[in-house]
């Protein structure tokens, strides 16, 4: 998933939308492995944008289920790309405020704290605005601080506290990494590893780490390769996907990232409609019977894109098959994983505002027919288990506790009818692909889901932002 679900990419999406306005089952044979616990991270399942460091987009917590409905909502004056929930139970989001105040400006990245019961904003902190993707990915540490990059290419630890004057969001720590980043570049991805380092990656292909001592080390990938997706981390290294190739990298004693293997993929001849840039739209996903044996992406091949699965250690190809059957032929979403099973949502034809995308698409436009498919993987290859026509418009989240995939989306596809009308909570059975929940939770355009990312809290609530609101959906 590329960051129309993040504060940086959302900057451009919000500008575009403002301009327009103003003018339960379980896997049949998958082993439900959960990522190893990490020191330095906040609560399990609510501290990372993609659920865990493997980017499985799953959670151990039960979701709102078949009776889920909106129990709290607010208008936070911005679009919130990712939400984390700390050990104190307080939701905190990476948001893009429509209008900033310090200084006055449009589409300003911020960190916003919400009331856990009503979803009302309690306090926010505006961040320095910089490059297109600055402040995109972040995570919550074990002190309930949001770790995020700002526009000055500093990595911030943003905390919150209650004072006599009310709640306050403030910068608790700042790490300047700008000396390793060329002028005009910006941090795109950010994640911790099991050795206590912070990994970062930039739009133009600089990959670096910050050690426990604060030492910064970086490596530049080949010129012309850009990054718009997040980093995925495992015990043995990190997976980084550029607009040209998938990399497995590791950091030595000096902290400098080194390439273990590189696999170029078919990036096609142009950007597809429903994707943001010319290249793969997926964050790499580690998965497999023992957790991180394999890594998966979807390429951008013309016609029918391919699901590609590699051995994480060696880069050997495990399987290659068309990512979709009858669904739209392309995705900007991260792949969901559980055990040895993958679920790939389609975003082909999704209409982003013109200012959000990078270059023309081929074809110039397409209907958003939607769809999602499950593929199971073995050492001998891949096979498709099911495919449906769900028109989901957020980054889906799988509950490993109830076996349901939660998202916001639209009604059935009708030719010529795109992203308008009611917005629904959609829940799909992971085992069968069958829709089990379709409940109205909003109306467009105020509740356009914008492919934003939600999270499921320990108490079973889905926190999901739209372009205009923050929703708390619970049983």
- pLDDT tens profile 143-162: 999 999 998 999 999 999 99
DSSP 322-364: ES-SSS-S---SPPEEETTEEEEE--TT----GGGS-S-BSSS
Question: For the residues 356-367, what does the mean pLDDT come to?
Answer: 89
What mean pLDDT is reported for the chain? 89
Give me the percent of the chain exceeding a pLDDT of 70.
Answer: 89
Residues 6+ apart with CB under 8 A from 164: none
**pLDDT of residue 133 exceeding 50:** no
Q: How far from each other are the two terminal CA atoms of the chain, in whole angstroms?
A: 28
Residue with tokens 């720590």: 173
DSSP H/E element including 259: strand 257-264
Q: Which residue matches tokens 């040209």?
A: 244
User: Which contacts qualify for 22-25: CB closer than 8 Å, 24 or more apart?
Assistant: 24/65, 24/399, 24/402, 24/403, 24/404, 24/429, 24/430, 24/436, 25/403, 25/429, 25/430, 25/431, 25/432
Give the pLDDT of residue 100.
80
* Residues 404-428, mean pLDDT to the nearest whole number: 88
Mean pLDDT, residues 271-284:
94
How many CB atoms are closer than 10 A to CB 379?
12
Q: Which residue has the tokens 């080194």?
A: 258
- For residue 267, what are the CA distances in angstroms to 248, 272, 306, 418? 18, 10, 10, 26
* Banded model confidence at residue 88, pLDDT cuts 50, 70, 90: very high
Q: What token pair was written down for 178?
A: 């700008």
Looking at domain 3-23+39-474, its CATH class is: mainly beta
Percent of the chain with pLDDT over 90: 79
pTM: 0.92
For the chain, the farthest-separated pair of C-alpha atoms sits apart, in whole angstroms, at 62
Q: Where are the domains of the chain?
A: 3-23+39-474
Confidence of residue 229 (pLDDT cuts 50, 70, 90): confident
Distances (CA, A) of 271 to 240, 344, 353, 359, 382: 20, 19, 15, 7, 26
Q: What pLDDT score does 426 carry? A: 97
| pLDDT average, residue stretch 397-402 | 98
pLDDT of residue 125 exceeding 70, the answer is yes
Instruction: Report residue 293's pLDDT band, with 50, 70 and 90 as the boundaries.
Output: very high
DSSP 180: G
- What is the rounded average pLDDT of the residues 7-35? 41
Mean pLDDT to the nearest integer, 14-27: 39
Identify the band that residue 290 occupies on the pLDDT scale cut at 50, 70 and 90. confident
Tell me, what's the pLDDT at 418?
64
**Average pLDDT score over residue span 173-177:** 96
Residue 101 has pLDDT above 90, yes or no: no
Q: Among 273, 209, 217, which residue's Cα sits nearest to residue 240?
A: 209
Q: How confident is the model over 282-309, as a mean pLDDT?
A: 96
Cα–Cα separations (whole angstroms), residue 294 to 1, 21, 288, 305, 371: 18, 44, 6, 19, 24
pLDDT at 37: 47
Q: Does residue 93 contact residue 465 with C-beta atoms inside 8 Å?
A: yes
In the structure encoding, which two tokens stand for residue 265, read together?
A: 């993929």
Q: Please say whether the beta carbons of 128 and 108 come within 8 A.
A: no
């Amino acid at each position: 998933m590329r960051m129309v679900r993040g504060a940086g990419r959302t900057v451009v999406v919000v500008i575009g939308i403002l301009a327009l306005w103003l003018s339960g089952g379980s896997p049949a044979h998958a082993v439900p492995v959960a990522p190893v616990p990490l020191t330095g991270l906040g609560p399990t399942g609510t501290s990372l944008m993609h659920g865990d460091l493997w980017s499985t987009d799953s959670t151990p917590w039960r979701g709102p289920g078949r009776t889920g409905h909106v129990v709290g909502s607010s208008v936070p004056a911005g679009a919130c790309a990712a939400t984390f929930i700390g050990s104190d139970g307080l939701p905190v989001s990476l948001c893009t405020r429509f209008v900033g105040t310090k200084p006055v400006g449009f589409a300003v990245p911020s960190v916003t704290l919400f009331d856990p019961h009503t979803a009302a904003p309690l306090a926010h902190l505006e961040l320095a605005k910089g490059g297109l993707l600055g402040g995109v990915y972040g995570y919550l540490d074990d002190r309930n601080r949001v770790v995020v990059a700002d526009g000055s290419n500093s990595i911030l630890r943003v905390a919150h506290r209650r004072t006599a004057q009310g709640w306050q969001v403030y910068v608790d720590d700042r790490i300047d990494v700008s000396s390793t980043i060329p002028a005009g570049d910006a941090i795109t991805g950010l994640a911790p590893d099991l050795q206590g380092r912070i990994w970062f990656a930039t739009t133009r292909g600089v990959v670096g780490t910050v050690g426990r001592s604060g030492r910064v080390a970086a490596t530049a990938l080949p010129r012309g390769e850009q990054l718009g997706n997040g980093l995925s981390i495992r015990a043995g290294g990190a997976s980084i996907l550029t607009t040209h190739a998938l990399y497995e990298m590791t950091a030595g004693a000096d902290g400098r990232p080194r390439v273990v293997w590189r696999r170029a993929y078919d990036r096609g001849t142009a950007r597809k409609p429903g994707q943001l840039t010319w290249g793969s739209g997926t964050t790499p996903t580690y998965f497999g019977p023992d957790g991180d044996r394999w890594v998966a992406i979807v390429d951008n091949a013309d016609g029918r894109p391919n699901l590609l699965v590699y051995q994480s250690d060696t880069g050997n190809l495990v399987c290659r098959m068309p990512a979709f059957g009858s669904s739209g032929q392309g995705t900007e979403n991260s792949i969901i994983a559980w055990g040895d099973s993958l679920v790939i949502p389609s975003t082909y034809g999704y209409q982003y505002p013109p200012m959000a995308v990078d270059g023309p698409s081929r074809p110039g436009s397409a209907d958003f027919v939607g769809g999602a498919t499950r593929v199971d993987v073995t050492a001998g290859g891949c096979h498709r288990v099911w495919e449906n026509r769900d028109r989901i418009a957020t980054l889906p989240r799988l509950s490993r506790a109830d076996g349901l995939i939660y998202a916001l989306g639209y009604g059935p596809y009708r030719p010529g009818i795109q992203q308008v009308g009611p917005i629904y909570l959609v829940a799909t059975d992971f085992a069968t692909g069958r829709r089990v929940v379709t409940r109205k939770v909003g109306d467009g355009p105020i509740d356009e889901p914008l492919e934003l990312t939600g999270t499921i809290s320990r108490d079973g609530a889905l926190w999901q932002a739209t372009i205009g609101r923050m929703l708390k959906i619970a049983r």
